[in-house]
Amino acid sequence: MSTLPVVAAVDGSDDSLRALDWALDAARRRGAPLRVVHVRQYAVWAQPDVLVAGAPDPDDDPVLDRVRTRLGDRHEQPPTEYLGVEGAPGAVLPELGSTAQLLVLGSRGRGGFASLLLGSNGMAAARDAECPVVVVPRPGREVDGEAPTGPGPRVVVGLHVDSPDDAALDFAFGEAGLRGARLQVVSAYQWPLQSWAAPGEMIPPKIDQDAVENETRALAEGFLAPHIARHPGVLAEPYVPPGDAAGHLVAASQGADLVVVGRHRRRLLAPARLMGSVTQAVLLHAASPVAVVPPGAVEPQDLPED
Domain shared by 207 and 296, yes or no: yes
Structure confidence at residue 89 (pLDDT): 85
Residue 16, C-beta contacts closer than 8 angstroms, at least 6 positions apart:
8, 9, 10, 105, 106, 109
Last residue of a domain, one of 122, 139, 156: 139
Chain length of the chain:
306
Q: For the chain, give the percent of residues with pLDDT over 90.
A: 57
Helix (H, G, I), strand (E, B) or coil at 239: strand
Domain shared by 106 and 151, yes or no: no
Structure confidence at residue 304 (pLDDT): 40
Domain shared by 134 and 167, yes or no: no
Domain shared by 172 and 105, yes or no: no
Residue 48: pLDDT band by 50, 70, 90 thresholds?
very low
Output the average pLDDT for the chain. 83
Structure confidence at residue 49 (pLDDT): 45
Give the range of the structural domain holding residue 128, as residue numbers without chain letter: 1-139
Burial class (CB in 10 A: 0-12, 13-18, 19+), 226: exposed
Domain shared by 301 and 220, yes or no: yes
Domain shared by 259 and 215, yes or no: yes
User: How many structural domains are present in the chain?
Assistant: 2
Domain shared by 77 and 202, yes or no: no
Residue 43: pLDDT band by 50, 70, 90 thresholds?
very low
Q: Both ends of the chain: CA-CA distance in Å? A: 9
Q: Which of 12-16, 59-63, 196-200 has the lowest mean pLDDT?
A: 196-200
CA dist 38 and 19 (Å) reads 13
Domain shared by 306 and 246, yes or no: yes
Domain shared by 261 and 171, yes or no: yes
Judge contact between 27 and 77, C-beta under 8 A. no
Pick the more confident residue, 269 or 259. Answer: 259
Would you say residue 91 has pLDDT above 70?
yes
CATH of the domain at 55: 3.40.50.620
Q: What are phi and psi of 219, to 5 degrees?
A: -65, -45
Structure confidence at residue 20 (pLDDT): 95
Last residue of a domain, one of 139, 169, 204: 139
Give the model confidence (pLDDT) of 92-124 as tens digits. Answer: 999 999 999 999 999 864 544 443 446 678 888
Structure confidence at residue 300 (pLDDT): 45
